[in-house]
Amino acid sequence: MSSLPKHLALTAVLTIAAGSVSAQQLAPSPTLDAIKARGHLECGVHLGLPGFSYANDKGEWSGIDVDYCRALAAAILGDATKVKFTPTSVQQRWPVLQSGQVDVLARNTTITFSRNATLGVNFQGINFYEGQTFVVRKGAAATPKDLDGASVCVAAGSTEEKNAADWFKERGLKISIINFQKNDDAIAAYDSGRCDAYTAGIGALAGQRIKLKKPDDNVVMTETISNDPQGPTTRWNDERFQLVVRWVLNGQIAAEAYGVTSKNVDEMKASSQSGDIRRLLGVEGGFGAMMGIPNDWMYQAIKQVGNYAESYERTVGLGSPLKLARGKNELWTKGGALFSPPFQ
């Protein structure tokens, strides 16, 4: 009667072996496990910036950053509505991400070396190429150079604060920078006449100009003084979750390049013969499973949120009040800077 213990021992060995095999297949991802367990994604966004992340009077969020979070939720959980948005100020954004209060930060935040190197955060790609410029009262100045001697309102601790100081100093021009804790306070001070200009990214300004008392009396300059790429940001560690964050963004851009939209995605999934599209939509390749999420991850994201172009036009592009042309935020094949590595 020694066969029973032997049998048990064999089972135990097999179980452990099987366990270790599956552990080798997928690196542990506490963030993905937590998202699945709680049933929604926690996403850090801007306090309120039309076109990027803005809650209307019914509390419904919209914007290009909000769309990214929805696509990520659709990819992981199969449902784009399973996102909780946490509005964050310039000051709050890093602690909120570092402490694990949000899973990902999509908050038109500029990618810089020192942030990457010292804050324990990783930037997973670029969903918007921003460039810093100024909003001024009509006729006050046409280009940034004309602002010599002006008072400029800015949000404290933003890249804009340093950019402006550097840019004017390099050119031997002098401006007086007034630092506010919140973008909205800075805009209010500009609106009340304290400053000659308010500075932020050109996309952000297009949205914020709408908030001014008399938007039509103010113009956003077209010349920019910086290059501020922005994109979804995660904590260090948990590479598997970072993989998902990065490739959902790549997937949105690839979908535009491959011509897959929310309208034709079902048809494409059923009948496309292109290997790229079939792998993107999870018909073959099993890419989702490699990251520990469903294989139809990008199908769900595109079906429910759309590809990059659809999201852009709806939130900041010509179909929105901001009316921004694609500019650098166009596919590299069409003269822009957006690019996705191949889905192979």
Partner 1 sequence: MSLAAALRDRKVRDVIAQAAVAVSLVALLVYFVRNASQNMVKAGIASGFDFLWRQAGIDIPFQLTGYTSASSILGLLWVGIVNTLLVSAVAIVAATVLGFAIGVARLSRNAMLSGIAGAYVEFARNIPLLFFVLIWYFGVVASLPAPRASLALFGVAFLNNRGLTMPLPNATGGFVWALLVLAAGIVAQVALLAVSRRRQARTGHALPLGLTGTLLVVALPMLALTVAAFGTGWDIPVLRGFNYRGGFVLVPEFVALFAALSTYTAAFVAEIVRAGILAVPGGQIEAAKAIGLRPGQILRLVTIPQAMRVMVPPLTSQYLNVVKNSSFGAAIAYPDVVSLFMGSALNNTGQAIEIVAITLALYLAISLAVSASMNAYNARTALVTR
Residues forming the site for partner 1 (CB under 8 A)? 90-91, 94-95, 98, 114-115, 117-121, 140, 147-151, 153, 156-158, 161-162, 164-166, 169, 175-181, 185-186, 188-189, 192-194, 196, 235-237
Closest to partner 1 by CB, 236 vs 332, is: 236
Q: What letter does residue 49 receive in the DSSP assignment?
A: B
Count of alpha carbons within 13 angstroms of residue 271, beta-carbon side: 3
* Among 259, 258, 247, 253, residue whose Cα is nearest residue 287: 247
Written as six digits, the tokens of 258 are: 């491959």
Residue 41 CA to residue 43 CA, distance in Å, equals: 6
Judge residue 19's burial from the number of C-beta atoms within 10 Å of its C-beta, 0-12 exposed, 13-18 middle, 19 or more buried.
Answer: exposed
Closest to partner 1 by CB, 36 vs 115, is: 115
Residue 151 CA to residue 174 CA, distance in Å, equals: 9
Closest to partner 1 by CB, 73 vs 135, is: 135
Closest to partner 1 by CB, 11 vs 176, is: 176
* Smallest distance from partner 1 to CB 185, Å: 7
* Smallest distance from partner 1 to CB 213, Å: 12
* Smallest distance from partner 1 to CB 164, Å: 8
Q: What is the dihedral of CA 233, 124, 318, 267, to 10 degrees?
A: -120
* Smallest distance from partner 1 to CB 240, Å: 17
* Smallest distance from partner 1 to CB 96, Å: 11
CB crowding 7-18: b at 16 or more within 10 Å, else e: eeeeeeeeeeee
- The count of other CB atoms within 10 Å of the CB of residue 274 is 13
**Is residue 225 within 8 Å of 157, Cβ to Cβ?**
no
**Is residue 311 within 8 Å of 261, Cβ to Cβ?**
no
Residue 58 CA to residue 223 CA, distance in Å, equals: 36
Region of 50 (left: φ > 0; alpha: ψ -120 to 50; beta: rest) is beta
Closest to partner 1 by CB, 177 vs 257, is: 177
* Smallest distance from partner 1 to CB 233, Å: 12
Q: What letter does residue 194 receive in the DSSP assignment?
A: S
Closest to partner 1 by CB, 189 vs 289, is: 189
Place of tokens 């560690």: 237
* Smallest distance from partner 1 to CB 166, Å: 7
* Smallest distance from partner 1 to CB 93, Å: 9
Phi first, then psi, for residue 208 (nearest 5°) are -75, -25
Closest to partner 1 by CB, 95 vs 342, is: 95
Place of tokens 């904590």: 235
Written as six digits, the tokens of 175 are: 């401006």
Closest to partner 1 by CB, 155 vs 316, is: 155
* Smallest distance from partner 1 to CB 232, Å: 17
Closest to partner 1 by CB, 11 vs 237, is: 237
